[in-house]
Amino acid sequence: MKTKIFTKSLGLAGAAALALLLGGCEQPPQETAQTGPRGTGMVQVKSPEREEAKRAAIVLPEVQPEADASGPRASEVYENVKVLGHLSEGQFIRVMAAITEWVQPEQGCAGCHNLENLADDSVYTKVVARRMFQMTQTINAKWTAHVGQTGVTCYTCHRGQAVPAEIWFKSPGDDNPPYMGAKNGQNAPVKSVAYSTLPNEPFSALLVQKGEIRVQGTTAIPQVPARVEQGQTIQDAEKTYGLMMHMSTGLGVNCGFCHNSRAFGSWAESPPQRVTAWHGIQMVRELNTTYLDPLQPVYPANRLGEAGDAPKAYCATCHQGVNKPLYGAAMFKDYAVELSPPKAN
């Protein structure tokens, strides 16, 4: 009824504008769950419809049959094995079958191999995959403060695709100096920062370089810009908020999942998920600097970004809109031998 009167008085143009405006909204009802004390903004708002679609989109591949762990090592059986040499022949072939399903289901073995000679390293995807094994082993062995015993497999990021759905590249940059209208990546909304007008690529500074994320003033009457004594600027604060928008949208949660909104900086008032997230930030920095960025020379030009850099990971690469990737499905436990570093076995 209300809309009717409203649209009548506004006329046709108004109605069209309203339809356009509401078109961006989600259908009610929304479900809300309070996760902290009242009045602190610690509430999670979810659309049941969207939650259902997200769950339905996740199809877990079947576990490969157990392999015989005895017998000669892959390093003795094969010619050019640099990372998986500690596995038995059976385990080696088992993990080849698994990654084919996780990463290259359409192309099969040929997605990474010259089928005339499996030892040959001429297909770039094989060279990338070898490094991916090392990266996955590192995540599972070193970053349990983030991934717990759940761990990750190639499927956590790839989901049956050669190129994961969520990757990012360095922004080609803005040549204008700040006083001549440099936009700091603003007003060019992209999905990775939830279409906000915040800097659209805070990731080079904060998820590759160890840029300072903490920007709030620590004194009762903060300086402007806040934390100016540590060199933090308004632009830095905007980057922090850009990253926070990514973390929220990447995990499909609201800010209150990790913060008490009356004191964003306070760790004492934050839920434990914020500590997990902190470890996640450190982990992603290592994945990008140690594994993904250095693969740049291996990729063909069409896989590189506008700035000529290699594709990289952020929170959404694993999480894909869910607070625990794949809703916490523990795929790693079935491949713990294959996806852990040799010394952990």
Rule CB under 6 A: which of 297-336 touch ligand HEC?
303, 311, 313-315, 317-319, 323-325, 328
- Judged by CB, which is closer to ligand HEC: 174, or 212? 212
265 lies in the site for ligand HEC, by CB under 6 A: yes
Chain residues 242-261 in contact with ligand HEC, contact rule CB under 6 A? 244-245, 247-248, 251, 253, 255, 257-259
Q: Which residue, 144, 123, 168, is CA-closest to 293? A: 168
Structure tokens at 267: 């760790």
Dihedral sign from CA coordinates of 64, 69, 72, 74: positive
Site string for ligand HEC, 136-175 (x = CB under 6 A): x--x------xxx-x-x-x-xxx---xxx--x--------
- From 143, 93, 80, 140, select the one nearest 278 (Cα to Cα): 143
Among 91, 100, 171, 204, the residue binding ligand HEC under the rule CB under 6 A is 100
Identify the CA nearest to 201 among candidates 216, 214, 184: 184
Integer angstrom CA distances of residue 54 from 18, 90, 100, 266, 323? 28, 35, 24, 32, 12
Nearest-approach distance from CB 64 to ligand HEC, in angstroms: 11
Q: Does the protein bind ligand HEC through residue 116 (CB under 6 A)?
A: no
Residue choice 277, 309, 331, 340 for contact with ligand HEC (CB under 6 A):
277
Measure the CA–CA gap between 249 and 258, rounded to whole angstroms: 13
Residue 105 tokens, joined: 């289901």
* Contacts (CB under 6 A) with ligand HEC, residues 169-208: none
In the complex, the smallest distance separating the C-beta of residue 11 from ligand HEC, rounded to whole angstroms, is 37
Q: How many residues bind ligand HEC, per CB under 6 A?
A: 82
